Every structure is written in C-alpha cells, then in structure tokens.
Structure 1
Amino acid sequence: MRFIATGLLVAMALIYFAARHYEPAYLPAGFVRAFAEAAMVGGLADWFAVTALFRHPLGLPIPHTAIIPRNKDRIATALASFLRDNFLVPRVVARRMQGVDVAGAAGRWLAQPPESSGRLRRGASRMAASLLESLDQEQLGGMIKGAVSTRLRQTDIAPLLGQALGAAMAEGRHLPLMDSMLRWLAKVIDTNEALIRKMVHDRAGTIMRWTGLDETLADKIIDGLYKLVADVAEDPAHPLRAKVEEGIEKLAFDLQFDIPTRMKVEAFKADLLDNPALARWIEGMWEQARAALLRVARDPDAALTGKFGDALRQLGTTLQSDPRLAHMINRFVRRAAVGTAADYGDGIVRLVSDTVRSWDAHTLTGRLENTVGQDLQYIRINGTLVGGLVGLAIHTLHTLL
C-alpha cells in the first residue's frame, strides 16, 4: 500500500508535467493540470502528516514531528490509565460480566463441540500435556500427598460420618447393607460348619462324645444359626434387626455428639494417616490420575468419544438445563474476574506501562504503524484524490468566472 500511495503521487507529477506541456495547445489540458497539481499538493501534505506521526520527514528535525517517539512515556502512561479506568476497575468488570453467560457458552460447547474447535482442543491439550510432563513428579507427588494428608488431619471426620450414617438411616439406605451382611453371615456359617462342629466336639464332655450327643448338639447349633439368619433376613420387623438399627442410630448420634467416641475416631484417623501404606496409596492414586490426565491431554478427540466424553457432554447438557447451576458458575466466574481486577489490576497496569516505556522508539513506532496498517496509506491516497478534485473544482470556477 505504501508503494501504491507513492506511485500515485509520482503518477500525478508525470501527468502534471505532461498536461502543462500541452496546455497552450489544448484547453482541456488545463483541467488535467489543475487536477494533477492539486493532487500532488494533497498527497505531499498527507505524506508529511502521516510521516510526522512516526518519524522526522526526510530525516529533518522539523518541530512537532516524530510525535509518537517523542511522547513514548506519555503514551505508556495514558495507555495504562486507559486500561485501569475502563477495564480493570472492579465495578466496571462486574458490570461488564453481568450479562456474560459463561456457563451457557461452556454448556453449548461441551454438548456439541464445533468442528472448528478441533485446532483449539489440540492446542490446549498439547499445552496441558506439556505442563503435566514438565512438573517434577517427586516434588509434585509429595505436594499432593502432603496436601491430602494435611486436609484430612484438619477435617473432623466423626461428625461427617455420623451425619452420613443418620441420613442413610432416615432414607432407608442401610437396609441393602444389612441384607448383604446377612447373606455374608450365611456364607460364613456354611464355610465354617466343620469348625463349629469341632469346637462343640472339643468342649463336650466324655459322655456326650461317647453317646454322640455332641454331633446332635452341633447340628442344633448350626441349624439354629441358619434359622436365625433366615428369620432376620425375611422379617423386616425382627427384634434382632431392630436391635441392630438401634445400635447404628446410637453410633450415628455418638459420632456427632459424644466426645469420647469422636476422640477415638480422631485417634484412629491419626494412626491411619501415619501409616506408610496409606501414603503409598495416595501417591499411587495421584500417579494413576496423572497418567489418565496425560492420556486425555495427548488424545482429546479419543477422550471425547469415550465415557469421559459422555460425561463432558452430559455436563454440557446440565449446564444448559439447570438454571441454578448455571447461575452459580456465572457468579463464581464474575467474582473471580472482579477479584482478579482488584488484586492484580494495578500490577497489570504497571506491566503495560513499564513494557511500553522499555521499548526503544524504533520498536514502538514500527509496532504502532503495523497495527494501524493500510489505513495510513489510504490517508495518502485519499489526500491525493481529494486534493485533485478540489484543484479541479477551483480551476473550473476560475475558468467559468
């Protein structure tokens, strides 16, 4: 575009000299000369104006030229102030984020990822994979293990267990567990029937063993155990079942309100956390999670076709259909943006200001000129054409009057 604008100016100069040569012989050549003459003036004036913004025209130190390099620091301050006053003020950020539906956009993208997002997905996945691979595994694993352990130590789990147990009792979710325990007891009796018979035989007297009554007694005991388990399993109102439920309810209450019980649970938790086996288990879980994340990151398209992809699409549908969840996420994003502006706004402003101040004049002018782009040359082209039209109009009026 710079070449075109300059070529147009040169063309006007050639036309001017040609028209001036033929003007005495041909009256219309005067109109052409007037157009070309004024076009040269307009083109040169706009060339001077455009050039004066970024540098000295022809390298001459003409006053009030090279405006941007001379005012570099002031521009940096003004740009930083513009960012601070219009973008990084918490109330401004809150107002602009008020109508932004992040949850809806994320939900639509997750439910039906557009075809054009493949490049974005692959780029994000490569970045995530590189980040995971670059982290020190020993240090990161230690951090994860320490964070989990610290969080568990700080959490009073007894009331949580008590509340969960109480909620399960209230909703009847303990009944399948009791039925499973009864089936397990029946299997235990069946598996250890020989052991029971041996125990009865060893504890029976000589007379009972001699008369064979120990076998009869063992049969009665085993049959009684089978019958007891069957009766409890078949009768929801069995007294033994009610006794077990009463014990569970008391345990749920003690876990929440009984200090000695809570202390016992905390002591057990502390012993468990001090066990090296638990630390190895947590570390192994982290390694498995990291490996799974790396697999997803390295092949996002394959991940989106499996169970993980189904879960993401389900999440996208939920984000679109659940107003409460969408409102909660949008509120979180809005608060995060406002918090970022409040906490880091001044730092961002200083970063922009200091960066612009650190640029040399040539770098600043080059970047600004390239940012404005072709419009600067269109100013020169328009100046040439508009100047020519004005000169033609003046010459026409002069000829007619």
Structure 2
Amino acid sequence: DDLADGLADKLSGSMLAELREVLAQPDHPVRLRYEAWLQTFIERLRSDPALIASIHEIKEQAITDPAVQAYVSSLWTDVKQMLRKDLAQENSTVARHLENGLRVIGEKLANDQSLRDAINQHVLAAAGHLGADLRAGITAHIADTVKAWDDKQLVRELELSVGRDLQYIRINGTLVGGLIGLLLHAVAVGAWP
C-alpha cells in the first residue's frame, strides 16, 4: 500500500512538473502540438458537416437528458442561493465586483466618445426593432385595459389625466353636438338650402 502511494505521489509530481514546464514555455513542443491540434479542430468545426452534425446531436442529447436537466436546475438553485446569501452580507463580494465593473464601464464611457456613439446607434436600432414589434401589443393592451374599465373608472381616469379642463371639454362637446344636430335637422326638414 505504501509502495502504491509512493508511486502515485511520484507520478503525480512528475506530471505536475511537466505541466508547469509546458505552461511556462510558449514554444514547448507539447504546447505547440496542442495548439496545432486545436487550430485544426476549430477549422473542422467550421467546415466538416459530419463533425458539426455529431456535435449537434451530442448537444441535443445533453439538453434533453433528464439527469442533465435536473443537474442544471439544481445548479441554478444553488447559484441563486449563493448570490442571495452573498448579497445579503454587508461586505458582499458580488456587489463589490459589480460596483467595480460598473465604475470601469462608466469611466470608459466618459472617456470614449466613439464607444458612446456606437452604443447610441445600437440602442436606437434596437429601439426601432422593438418599437415595431411591441407597437401592436402595446396598442392591444391599452385598448383591452380601457374596454375593461367601467364608466365611472373611465371618467375618473380622464379627470385625472385632463384635469379641470374636462368640464370645458364636456360643455364644448355638448354645444358642438347640439349645433350639428340642429343643422342636420334644418337640412332634413328643408329649412336650410
């Protein structure tokens, strides 16, 4: 048993030393072979239909696997609990990192006009697309909301929005409606040429 432990220690120590050497030397042969293999694999991912299909199939199997779904669900629950626990603390690590990140972004935006211009263009483009997509939904929501109001609620909302001028609008509406009614009646009975 001691012999096996000693052999395992020597083997793992040797592997760690080799790995450190590979990481320390950018031109180490193992590192160069790995980078060449990785570059070839990346090219195959872009151009090899069989590899692309195989990876897509593996992805679909992983996504639909109940064990993977349960693991991801539990992982998400654990992450949310960890975040809530951390954010509840006065010296929250997450809050500190968010604060630092937002400060860096703010400084970058304050000092880089081209970045501000690019962000503004993207926001305007997104707003244009969203506006077109949301227009029908917003219109339907407003119409449904107003239809659901009873008369008293509708009058109250109008009074709140229009204010004291609502009485003048009512009076003018009554007078204009009455005048139009009189004109129509006069035309109908022939009193108006």
> What TM-score, normalized by structure 2, do the two folds share?
0.49
Larger radius of gyration: 1
> What TM-score, normalized by structure 1, do the two folds share?
0.28
